[in-house]
Amino acid sequence: MVSMRTIYEMYAKQMLASSFRITNSLPDSEDIIQESFLCAFQKIEQLKDEGKFSSWLKQIVINNSIKFIKNKTSFEPLDEINEREVKEDNSNWYMSIPFNQIRESIMSLPDGCREIFSLYLLEGYKHKEIASALGISISNSKSQYRYALKLLKNILMKYHHE
Amino acid sequence: MNNFEKYLQDNKDKLQSDSVDEKVWLMIENEMLKSKNRRSKRFLRITFIVIFMSLLGCLIYVLQDQDEGLNEQKILAEYDLTKYNFEEKVNTKKQQLVSATVPETKFEDFQILLQQLEFMDGQFQDYIRYIEQNGYQEFIGDQILNFYKSKIELLDKIKSEIDKINYYEKIKPSYTEYVTIEI
């Protein structure tokens, strides 16, 4: 049987990154993954399929992270952003930008839209699920996402031109 | 989803931070140890309570049993019911039956007599309880004396039945095992 320490080492980095992209606070994300791992280890007998451990753990981490930000972030509806502004992209201009630069740029996005951007693009949540979890409308979730994508592109473009 | 979004999605592992502070694991380990200790403590506490309650139960039972025995003797002596030495006679009869055995096939024949004996003992306890609650009355005294007489008669009857069975067993053995009559 794999030890708890081994399981922790396998997933801790990934879980911390997921939580951090939502909370944007390292100490809070450390607390969240600590609480989530504890919860997972204590309820591990409830998990019928051991192969699903990572997705189950991820869900606990994301749920705890959402619970953490839910009452702290305001998701004011944004003006509708033209689909074309974010969709038209055929060049590979972003390839030359280092990943740490991209990571920092994501973290510099405003709270509400960064959270939705992370949940949708990086965690694979659907807008319907995000809207339900955060208590906002689906259209608001979509517009926050597009706004985040547009902002991120603008930030990264600057590095690209530099 | 455009190429840029796809690129980010495909490389999301590279967007992770470098390491996780060791203190996070230490805190998890610490919490797990605390929880394990709490479980052990709870288990010990429950075990202790169960043992304590069992001992207390046994003690109460023993004390009550002693009390009942004392009360019976006290009541019988108080109302001069011991003058006929019935208790002594009953004990002597019982002693004679302690080691009495009968063939297993005949044991069932005794069941009715033994049940009768048990029923009578229950009645006797009712008389004692009545005196405890309502005080002594002459009719209860008579009932108790009758009880002793009937009990002695019943024990005699059991004895003669055993003798009879064992006599015929000697003449015509059934070759079955012998069992003790527990009185």
pLDDT of chain A, 162 residues: tens digit per residue: 468 888 898 899 999 999 998 998 889 999 999 999 999 988 888 877 778 888 899 999 999 999 998 878 777 766 666 555 555 556 788 888 888 899 889 989 998 899 999 999 999 999 999 999 988 999 999 999 999 999 999 898 887 666
Residue ranges of domains in chain A, CATH in brackets: 4-72 (1.10.1740), 83-160 (1.10.10.10)
d(CA B2, CA A71): 32
Residue B17 lies in domain: 1-70
Contact B17, A17 (CB under 8 A): yes
Residue of A nearest to B17 (CA): A17
Do B53 and B97 sit in the same domain of this protein?
Answer: no
Contacts of B126 (CB under 8 A, 6+ apart): none
Do B129 and B60 sit in the same domain of this protein?
Answer: no
d(CA B98, CA B26): 70
Torsion A85-A86-A90-A92 (CA) sign: positive
| Last-in-domain residue among B15, B43, B70 | B70
| Last-in-domain residue among B14, B45, B70 | B70
Do B33 and B120 sit in the same domain of this protein?
Answer: no
Do B62 and B94 sit in the same domain of this protein?
Answer: no
Interface test with A, best of B20, B22, B25 (most A CBs within 10 A): B20
Interface predicted TM-score (ipTM): 0.80
Q: How many domains does chain B have?
A: 2
Interface test with B, best of A7, A9, A16 (most B CBs within 10 A): A16
State how far residue B180 is from chain A, nearest Cα, in angstroms. 54
User: How many inter-chain contacts (A to B, CB under 8 Å) are there?
Assistant: 72
A14 touches chain B (CB under 8 A): yes
pTM beyond 0.80: the answer is no
What does the pLDDT look like over B4-48, one tens digit per residue? Answer: 888 998 988 888 776 888 888 888 888 888 887 888 888 888 888
Do B29 and B101 sit in the same domain of this protein?
Answer: no
Identity (one letter) of the amino acid at B86? Answer: F
Do B62 and B99 sit in the same domain of this protein?
Answer: no
Do B16 and B60 sit in the same domain of this protein?
Answer: yes
Torsion B65-B71-B76-B82 (CA) sign: positive
pLDDT at A77: 67
Identity (one letter) of the amino acid at B55? Answer: L
Q: What SS3 state is found at A82?
A: coil
- Mean pLDDT per 10-residue run, chain B (183 residues)? 87 80 87 82 87 90 70 69 75 82 80 82 83 80 83 85 83 82 75
| Last-in-domain residue among B70, B89, B104 | B70
Do B44 and B92 sit in the same domain of this protein?
Answer: no
